[in-house]
Chain A
Amino acid sequence: MIERTPLLNFTTHAILIVGLVMLLLPLWIVFVASTHDFRTVNTVPMPLWPGSHMVENYVAAWTQSGFGPKMLNSLVMAIGVTTGKIAIAALSAYSIVYFRYRLRMVFFWLVFITLMLPLEVRIVPTYAVAANAFRPLQVLLDVFGMSWLLESVTGLRLVLPEWSLLNSYSGLILPLIATATGTFLYRQFFLTVPDELLEAAKMDGTGPLRFLFDILLPLSKTNMAALATIMFVYSWNQYLWPLLIVTDPAYGTAVMQLQRIVPGPLFGEPPRWHIAMAGTLIVMLPPLLVVVFMQRWFVRGLINQDK
């Protein structure tokens, strides 16, 4: 702190409080709206203080949308994507940093370039792959003549099975796992680990896998926590991809459900905003809790990405 003029201090507090109100007001309104009955929520302007219908609204929203299995699906997806991303990021960063081979820079850039194109931008062609996730590999094998070679040698034709990702957990999880940021974050971490550690380990006769699992990964715990919080929020909040890959309600996620609870005069229903807002709050709560309780790791991970 440099200047402590009363006027400047007052302005500071005033602006910070206005900012606080602006950022919290939408969340507060969602909460307040979810505690009133149908008539109160549709009065203009709506009261700014919670009402007494909270429990019944949440019960109604929960049962109507079947949030039980939907939240479970979201949880499976979020945990699957998060663990998958961390595992794959750690393994590939380890390969790039701790092994010396010519292709490693090529591999690094192949992974790193994916940062440029998020899923939403290439949604149409990615969806086309989902019907059979082995198709690209099959074509590659055919083109490079490997299956022909194999056929002429063994008399067997190598045909990969069809692997549809539609309406499955693997479809929800796998396309989101490839991670440039995670790989980059792990690479940064591995580069800060002193060389002497590996020298000492090698002297003691430690193999590459043992070194990774017994020494490096335990050291990277904070790194892992940071990555986990970011990726959990990211994958829980996925919307467009689940919307395409899932047509069977049994695999529907909580965020997808938001589309169904939009009240609108379009469908000739009364605007039941109190139920819709209760549903919104249910859907946004898990990632919000992660951010509130794990903010320290979250922010560290975000800023260290330093793309």
Chain B
Amino acid sequence: MSGKRVTFKNFWLAILLILPQLFLVFTFFYWPAGEALYWAFTLEPPFGGEQQWVGWQNFETVFADPLYWNSVKRSLLFAFSSTALAMGIGLLLASFVDRQLAGYKVYRFIYFWPYAVAAPAVGLAFRFIFAPDAGFVSAINVWFPGLWNPALDGFDAMVLIVLANAWSMVAYNFIFFLAGLQSIPRSLVEAGAMDGAGAVRRMRDLQLPLIAPTFFFLIVINITDSFVNSFGIVDITTGGGPARATDLMVFKIYSDGFKGKDYSLAAAQSLVLMLMVCALTFIQFRFVERRVHYS
């Protein structure tokens, strides 16, 4: 960390200034994380009393449960398909806005709006638009009765939440891709064009490699966000159903912990999820930042 040449020396004032943040981080972050660790390895006896140390038993219960693997599978499917969709559309729109034709500022301005909408509000809007008996998509049920019903068909429900999540994430990806593309020196792209590289060729061999850091940063952010955002969308649209087809990890932790009141099992699941998100962030810091840099 590049520091300041001149600094203050007042140690206790420095501590005092950072103390509020440390208190909050300790109380609402490190302590809960530690407690989750403790719960994950203990069990509360059925008739009260001290927590009992049970070793890996909670994890064994979780990992032996096919419903848990179902939720992991659904979460990954959800994360990867909505990430691919949101990033693909974001990049497409950004690369065309980057051409800076007349009116591009209007597009840039409006494309960002969906980012402001809360996840459960997106959920409710999409629930209406994609409802089997109202809204718009139900029109296909007029011609092909029963073709679309997210309340009964697991695949339809997954499509619904993926579209809702992708819609709310496109704006974010668009802004970052656009910033990345605009940071490439114009002269470089012009030189490519003079050498006879077409628009597609320039995108593939010149612009994409140059915005690779943005690209990988967005992959990690999108996947993390799809774990986090998913709760609002799933809770409002499908409630984890039908038949657990959209029972994503955060939603399952919530229902096991707060509806089923099984803290030990929920803690073990939380721990696995924490490790997954940590690993993703770690990969971003260590691996991506080092290997993918061209400046």
Contact = CB atoms under 8 A, between A and B. Distances in A.
Whether both chains belong to one complex is answered with yes
Interface of A: 1-3, 8-9, 12-13, 15-16, 19-20, 22-24, 26-27, 29-30, 33, 41-42, 44-46, 88-89, 91-92, 94-101, 104-105, 107-108, 110-111, 114-118, 120-129, 133, 136-137, 140, 174-175, 177-179, 183, 191, 195, 198-199, 202, 208-209, 233, 236-237, 239-240, 244, 255, 258-259, 261-262, 271, 273, 276-277, 280, 283-284, 287-288, 290-292, 295, 298-299, 302-303, 307
Most chain A CB atoms below 10 A, which of B217, B235, B282: B235
Contacts of A100: 3, 7-9
B32 A44 contact: no
Contacts of A271: 131, 133-134
B253 to A, nearest CB: 6
B136 A137 contact: no
Contacts of A42: 133-134
A30 B33 contact: no
B28 A259 contact: no
Interface stretch (B44-52, B53-61, B269-277): B269-277
A123 B235 CA distance: 15
Contacts of B243: none
A23 B124 contact: no
A16 B107 contact: yes
Contacts of A12: 96, 99, 101
A83 B96 CA distance: 38
A1 B100 contact: yes
B92 interface: yes
A283 B7 CA distance: 46
B24 A177 contact: yes
B254 A240 contact: yes
A276 B128 contact: yes
A120 B110 contact: no
Could you say which of B26, B120, B231 has the most chain A C-beta atoms within 10 Å of its C-beta? B120
B146 to A, nearest CB: 14
Contacts of A288: 113, 116-117
A243 B20 CA distance: 26
B139 A44 contact: yes
Given A2-B193, A19-B93, A126 B28 contact: yes
Contact of A26 (B1, B129, B235, B253): B129
B112 A299 contact: yes
Nearest to A105: B1
B118 A96 contact: no
Q: How would you classify the secondary structure of chain B's contact residues: helix, strand, loop or mixed?
A: helix
Contacts of B258: 124, 127, 244
25 contacts: A16-B104, A19-B107, A23-B170, A29-B129, A29-B135, A42-B134, A46-B136, A92-B21, A99-B7, A99-B13, A99-B17, A110-B30, A125-B33, A129-B31, A178-B24, A208-B8, A237-B119, A258-B124, A271-B133, A273-B131, A273-B134, A284-B117, A288-B116, A298-B112, A299-B112
B232 interface: yes
A46 B125 CA distance: 14
For the side of the interface on B, what is the size category?
35 or more
Contacts of A108: 1
B176 interface: yes
Given A19-B111, A288-B113, 6 more contacts: A99-B10, A101-B11, A117-B278, A125-B32, A208-B10, A239-B231
B25 interface: yes
Contacts, number: 308
B282 to A, nearest CB: 8
B129 A45 contact: no
A88 to B, nearest CB: 5
Contacts of A117: 29, 33, 274, 277-278
User: Which of B30, B123, B136 has the most A CB atoms < 10 Å from its CB?
Assistant: B136
B267 interface: yes
B36 interface: yes
Contact of B125 (A19, A140, A277): A277
A91 B17 contact: yes
A276 B119 contact: no
A277 B128 CA distance: 8
B35 interface: yes
A153 B193 CA distance: 80
A240 B113 CA distance: 22
Nearest to B7: A100
Please name the 3 residue pairs, one residue from A and one from B, whose CB atoms are nearest each other, closest first. Answer: A125-B32, A237-B118, A99-B14
B257 interface: yes
A202 B6 contact: yes
B250 interface: yes
Contacts of B277: 116-118, 121
Contacts of A19: 89, 92-93, 96, 107, 111
Given A44-B133, A284-B118, A111 B25 contact: yes
A303 B178 CA distance: 11
B117 A240 contact: no
